Amino acid sequence: MSKSRLKAGLTTLVIVPAHFENMKKQITALTLCAAAIVTFSIPAFAWDDVGHKITSYIAWQRLSPQARENVIRVLRAAPEDSHLSALYMQYGAEPEEVRKREFFEIAATWADIVRDRAFENRYKKYHHSNWHYDDFFWRQVEGKVAIVDAPDDGGQAVRRLEEFEKTIRSASESDREKAIATAWIMHLTGDLHQPLHTSARVTDVEPKGDQGGNLFLLTPQGTPREKQLNLHWFWDSIVVRNTPLKGETCDRDFVEGMARSIMKKHPYERLQSRIQLGRYESWKKESFDLAPTQVFSPDLKRFQEPSAQYRRNALRVAEQQLALAGYRLGETLNSVFSNAPAKPAR
């Protein structure tokens, strides 16, 4: 797989089917009332920014008071040219606790924010496209999954998570380095739980893999490129497309409501035995196992809009994955920052 692997959102997608019109209205409403988006362009990648914020909200609920203080201190120590610490300033009028939580949430989207080529120096220094995924290349052979050799780079998410965890646990690393590592851990934990970030299906149509479903089109064959929809995009945006906004709901209230709903459906106690801190390869395998069964289910057809049943099941799977990612992220950061000595932010 090429290092320039596409991800949902890199090209402008115009939603054609009537079923997707509500999604356009929802995203517009969220954009208009989210202050941070006015200043920093946040493209939609996996999960989309709402998905990553939901995971971070769930993680925030798991953090001890000391871990919250320390993780915010570290994130605010990020190098100036990363623009990470500047995101904290977007919430100056909010109560302190809300301000910290929202900064924590948007920090989970920073690895996608730095994709913006308009900030050339930031893009060159901090953007790494092949860190966002870690694929198994596979075929379906007589109804069974057969793992095949990767024809090219299959992504580095697991390797980077392992390296960044060492960084944030190291007593010799500076808070500047830990800030970037923490932001990446927050983002990649979410990414690894999107099944198509661990999957490259090989077929006669896609002999080098389908790039995480980016090459699997859901619009009719021959649809102009600017109007095409793909499977990766479908899964990235599954939550926001299935939950209607009410009135003038803003980003903060929408994320909080969705996260609390997901936590109620998938409480920590039910998923606690699956946390497996630091076992990133296991997380990857667990996520991948959903691809042949839940993503590429028999009712999914190329060049066709997924059925209502498929959409319902995809939402169910995605919500559980977001909950699991949030709990794992929260416990990972707790294990590091609950015992770290608090220092004043500079």
Specify the CATH number for the domain of residue 160. 1.10.575.10
For the segment 204-209, the average pLDDT, to the nearest whole number, is 95
Q: Would you call 237 helix, strand, or coil by DSSP?
A: coil
For the segment 225-248, the average pLDDT, to the nearest whole number, is 88
Using alpha carbons, list the distances in angstroms from residue 113 to 13, 35, 250.
Answer: 18, 15, 20
**Is 12 within a domain?**
no
pLDDT at 243 over 50: yes
pLDDT at 26 over 90: no
**Is 200 within a domain?**
yes
Length of the chain equals 346
Between residues 152 and 324, the one the model is more confident about: 324
**Is 76 within a domain?**
yes
pLDDT at site 4: 39
For residue 193, the Cα-to-chain-centroid distance in whole angstroms is: 8
What is the pLDDT confidence band of residue 232, given thresholds at 50, 70 and 90? very high
pLDDT at 13 over 60: no
Tell me if 102 sits within 8 A of 254, measured CB to CB.
no
3-state helix, strand, coil in the chain (%, to 5): 55, 5, 40
How many other C-beta atoms can be found within 10 angstroms of the C-beta atom of residue 81? 11
Block residue for tokens 């694929």: 135
How many whole angstroms separate alpha carbon 283 and alpha carbon 217?
27
| CA atoms within 13 Å, Cβ hemisphere of 89 | 8
pLDDT at site 340: 62
pLDDT at 28 over 90: no
pTM exceeds 0.85: yes
pLDDT at site 90: 65
- pLDDT tens-digit map of 178-201: 999 999 999 999 999 999 999 999
Q: Which residues contact 159 (CB under 8 A, 6 or more apart)?
A: 134
Block residue for tokens 């007589």: 142
For the segment 107-120, the average pLDDT, to the nearest whole number, is 97
pLDDT at site 251: 82
How many whole angstroms separate alpha carbon 3 and alpha carbon 61?
36
pLDDT at 24 over 90: no
Number of domains composing the chain? 1
Block residue for tokens 């999107």: 194
Q: Which residues contact 236 (CB under 8 A, 6 or more apart)?
A: 8, 9, 44, 45, 46, 47, 48, 51, 194
**Is 186 within a domain?**
yes
**Domain limits at 181?**
18-337
pLDDT at site 255: 94
**Is 1 within a domain?**
no
Q: Would you call 130 helix, strand, or coil by DSSP?
A: helix
For the segment 65-72, the average pLDDT, to the nearest whole number, is 98
- Exposed/middle/buried for residue 289 (C-beta within 10 Å: 0-12, 13-18, 19+): middle
**Is 172 within a domain?**
yes
- pLDDT tens-digit map of 114-139: 999 999 999 999 999 999 999 999 99
pLDDT at site 141: 94
What is the pLDDT confidence band of residue 240, given thresholds at 50, 70 and 90? confident
pLDDT at site 48: 83
How many other C-beta atoms can be found within 10 angstroms of the C-beta atom of residue 49? 28
Q: Would you call 172 helix, strand, or coil by DSSP?
A: coil
